[in-house]
Amino acid sequence: MKYCKNCIMPDTRPDQYLNNNGICNGCLSYDYQKKIDWEKRKDDLLKIISEKKLNKDKWNCVVPGSGGKDSTYQIIKAKELGLNPVFVTASTCDLSEIGRKNLENVKKIGFDVVEISNNAKVRSKINKIGLELLGDISWPEHVSIFTAPVKFALAYDIPLILWGENPQLEYGGPDNSLNNSILDQKWMEEFGGLIGFRVSDLIENHGFKKNQLEIYDYPNENILKKKSILGIFLGYYERWDALRNYEVSKKNGFLEYEPELEGCYFNFEKIDNHQHGIHDYFKFLKFGFARATDQLCYMVRRNKITRKKAINLAKKLEGKFPKSYMGKSLDKILYKINMTEKEFIQICDNFTNKKIFKTDQSGKLIKDDYGSLIKLKYDN
């Protein structure tokens, strides 16, 4: 396990690599963005909107999101671009109180909101399957947030879908993905939260019927092209900035979480779903880092904190056994998916990368009194 010499991102992150100088592709991508002609890209976006000849008397743009700081910013930006957007969300797996307030806030600031609610019985079963097989309790949410808005656009003949950031450009990814402006089925298959798992797997191996899984099935790409429905990343056409998005959204009624948010440096991200604590913990078990590292790398790259301080903060913030998240206890979170804490701990151990954590002579993971693992190294 090696760490970037500029930020604190390890090379265990999927699609991550360090160059010959020990710099990660996330930092390289950040430097690359400084060279982009953002004014030209803005003109390109305005040209796309103009060429679409959008009908301003009806919804002409779908903005997908959860009501978080990024999607709140997106829909505000869509209006500034002269679009008549509709905000489309797929119900969060375990919606928090503040998550509901922020979603309602999108309505309060003047936008139509469509919430597509998953079948709760089906979803909870898939939550459990996702955790057991993939180490991802929120697989239904990670998929439906990309499928439901597209299905809505198709159903209502809305020609433009305005997505947010291009994650590969923001956090680092394959070189051929950095200049990708379009979110389509190909992107969904490679980066969109499926983790190699498909709707067909749920039907063939877990007894679901196809008509129970409609929300998780991405529409046929040929049909989307025939209907001239285009999904684009706003983060390709303007430089993405999480703090800027937060500040704009806060001025428009968005609420952050108080007090400190478990496992995070920021208190305004990942506050809509009580399952986020479990999801980030599994990220830590698999790869040796979690949400705080992503946020701290953002700060280091912008010279807002030093690398040394980021390392110390990562040690403090990450890796604690998720006994609760945003005031909801682990047993109550697991109850919704019919799982005991004992079963959960066994699944945690199954997905833990033992090369990253301390073990005894027999190879058994060593845990502290809190039940947390002991990470071997936080730097090179």
Question: What's the CA gap between 87 and 71, in Å, rounded?
Answer: 9
Q: How confident is the model at residue 167 (pLDDT cuts 50, 70, 90)?
A: confident
* Strand 230-233 versus strand 160-163 pairing type: parallel
Q: What is the pLDDT of residues 31-51, one digit of tens each?
A: 999 999 999 999 999 999 999
Phi–psi pair at 122, nearest 5 degrees: -65, -45
**Cα–Cα distance measured from residue 80 to residue 51, given in angstroms and rounded to the nearest whole number:** 17
Residue 223's H or E segment, with its range, is helix 221-226
Euclidean distance between CA atoms 117 and 86, whole angstroms: 16
pLDDT at residue 185 in the model: 86
Distance (Å, rounded) from C-alpha 270 to C-alpha 96?
10
User: Bridge partners of 329?
Assistant: 324
pTM of the model: 0.95
Q: What is the CATH number of domain 38-243?
A: 3.40.50
- The mean pLDDT of the chain is 95
Q: Which of 132-146, 193-207, 232-246, 362-376 has the lowest mean pLDDT?
A: 193-207
- Maximum Cα–Cα distance across the chain: 70
In this predicted structure, what is the pLDDT of residue 13? Answer: 93
Question: CB neighbours (10 Å) of residue 324?
Answer: 14
Q: Is 64 exposed, middle or buried (0-12, 13-18, 19+ CB in 10 A)?
A: buried
Residue 220, C-beta contacts closer than 8 angstroms, at least 6 positions apart = none
* Mean pLDDT value across residues 187-212: 88
C-alpha to C-alpha distance for 10 and 252, rounded to whole angstroms: 36
Residue ranges of domains in the chain: 38-243, 256-351
Average pLDDT over residues 138-143: 93
